[in-house]
Amino acid sequence: MAAKTVNVALIGTKFMGKAHSNAYLKVAKFFDVEPQPVMKMICGRHADETAEFAKRFGWENHESDWHKVCDRKDIDVVDVSTPGGLHHDISVAAAKNGKHVFCEKPLAFNLKDARTMLETARKAGVVHMVNFNYRVVPAIALAKQMIAAGEIGEIRHFRATYLQDWLTDAKFPMNWRLRKEAAGSGAHGDLNAHHVDLARFLVGEIGEVVGMKKTFIAERPAEGRSAGLTATAGEGTEKVTVDDATLFLAKFQNGAIGSFEATRMAPGRKNYNRFEINGSRGSLVFNFEEMNTLQYYSCADPAGRQGFKAIMATEGVHPYAGAWWPPGHVLGYEHTFVHAVVELMGAIQKKPTIMADFRDGAQCVAVLDAVEHSIDEGKWAKVEMVE
Ligand code: SOE
């Protein structure tokens, strides 16, 4: 019997558009997913580029107006891979029309919008998922299992640094990620969002925060063209309206404490997404630049033999790894998107998932917002809870 299918429409043709397209292409080749995604429709602002993109990645149709995509009867899933400024409007339109929604992070620019997205999706009874793709890095999914099994005991510290360097040079031109109206915020929403999600995933809810932020370069050469994290300069200059770096401290509801640092101005750090968790019985350390390994220290090891060991999460027993290559044949960034689509297809089949839904997405926005409030008011701020 032929496998069940769902028709997917992807909105966005840039960095995330490529990563998601690749995931839809690969998922049913490596994983026994049901339903299987059919690459029905790609949507991008520029008709010619989108037509070219459709041909290159194998999308059946292309469109340049997302409203029309959300209105189509033959679409089951809308994948929102646009800059953040469009997440709310597209997700709400798609959910109201009964489509499952898979949205990039951060879910929204403020808690009010995030709540509307959540309520609309719940009312429509559709699957809603946020692409916090680091949850499905095999080493991180393994960390989740180890924590749940009590292997590091009661958690006391979550220590996260997310460092990149692509904005170090003051001559690096503007792009949408530096404009508040398109990105919501800078390093905070782009990078801290991932760690807030991982902190909630691995440790628990955050109750209170206090932060600070800094924009080191207030004006940059105007944008000529940009793609991914690269750009060429156009004429003149433009004001930067987001943070270059945001740091904050957090109190978890379960008594753990945390520190978070995100910057796009750390020369030499490319995608240094690192966190360390210390518990009463051991520690775990992850660094995306070595994403196939999870560092584990166990206090139970005999005296004289204690130390961090690197678990290479590429064995068949590790989450997702068995579907790919033999042990040690490492995975990369793009595989995380495939794993996210495995989870998305599973959720459509009503299977339990470890991915974030819109409630998780909204709770992450609540933490990000609380950090902004604490900065504005110069004191600790309570995080609103989303039901
Ligand atoms: C750019 O900073 C970026 O691509 C983020 O937008 C992603 O979410 C992060 O995973 C890697 O860096």
Q: Based on the fold, state whether residues 156 and 190 are members of the same structural domain.
A: yes
DSSP 107: -
CATH code of 129's domain: 3.40.50.720
Q: Based on the fold, state whether residues 110 and 189 are members of the same structural domain.
A: no
Q: How many CB atoms lie within 10 A of CB 180?
A: 16
Which two structure tokens, joined as six digits, stand for 175?
């792009």
Hey, whose CA ends up nearest to atom 11 of ligand 1?
Answer: 271
Which of 136, 191, 333 best tests ligand 1's pocket when mutated (most atoms within 8 Å of CB)?
191
Q: Based on the fold, state whether residues 186 and 148 are members of the same structural domain.
A: yes
What was the pLDDT predicted at 230? Answer: 84
Query: Inter-axis angle of helices 47-57 and 15-30, to 10 degrees?
Result: 20
Rounded to two decimals, the pTM is 0.97
Hey, whose CA ends up nearest to atom 12 of ligand 1?
Answer: 271
Q: Based on the fold, state whether residues 72 and 34 are members of the same structural domain.
A: yes
CATH code of 248's domain: 3.30.360.10
Residue 338 domain flag: no
For the stretch 113-145, pLDDT in tens is 999 999 999 999 999 999 999 999 999 999 999
Residue 343 domain flag: no
Answer whether 130's CB lies under 8 Å from 386's CB: no
Answer whether 144's CB lies under 8 Å from 200's CB: no
Phi-psi region of 44 (alpha: psi -120 to 50; beta: other; left: phi over 0): beta
Q: What is the mean pLDDT of residues 86-91?
A: 98
Half-sphere exposure of 5 (CA within 13 A, CB side): 12
CA of 327: how far to CAs of 31, 135, 274, in Å? Answer: 17, 21, 23
Q: Based on the fold, state whether residues 64 and 80 are members of the same structural domain.
A: yes
Q: Based on the fold, state whether residues 146 and 124 are members of the same structural domain.
A: no
Q: Based on the fold, state whether residues 183 and 306 are members of the same structural domain.
A: yes
For the stretch 351-385, pLDDT in tens is 999 999 999 999 999 999 999 999 999 999 999 99
> 112, 133, 154: which is the final residue of a domain?
133
Strand order in the sheet with 206-214: 309-312, 293-298, 282-287, 272-279, 155-163, 257-263, 245-252, 206-214, 381-382
For the stretch 45-73, pLDDT in tens is 999 999 999 999 999 999 999 999 999 99
> 101, 133, 165: which is the final residue of a domain?
133
**Ligand 1: distance of its center to the CA of 37 in Å?**
25
Half-sphere exposure of 84 (CA within 13 A, CB side): 27
Answer whether 89's CB lies under 8 Å from 329's CB: no
For the stretch 197-245, pLDDT in tens is 999 999 999 999 999 999 999 999 999 988 888 888 989 999 999 999 9
Q: Which residue has the tokens 């990563």?
A: 19
Q: Which residue has the tokens 């932020």?
A: 213
* Phi, psi (degrees; rounded to nearest 5) at 14: -100, -140
Containing domain of residue 257, as a range?
A: 138-290+292-331+355-381
If pLDDT is split at 50, 70 and 90, which confidence band does 2 have? confident
Q: Based on the fold, state whether residues 273 and 316 are members of the same structural domain.
A: yes
**Ligand 1: distance of its center to the CA of 191 in Å?**
7
Structural domain total, the chain: 2
> 76, 110, 133: which is the final residue of a domain?
133
What is the Cα–Cα distance from 352 to 343, expressed in whole angstroms? 8
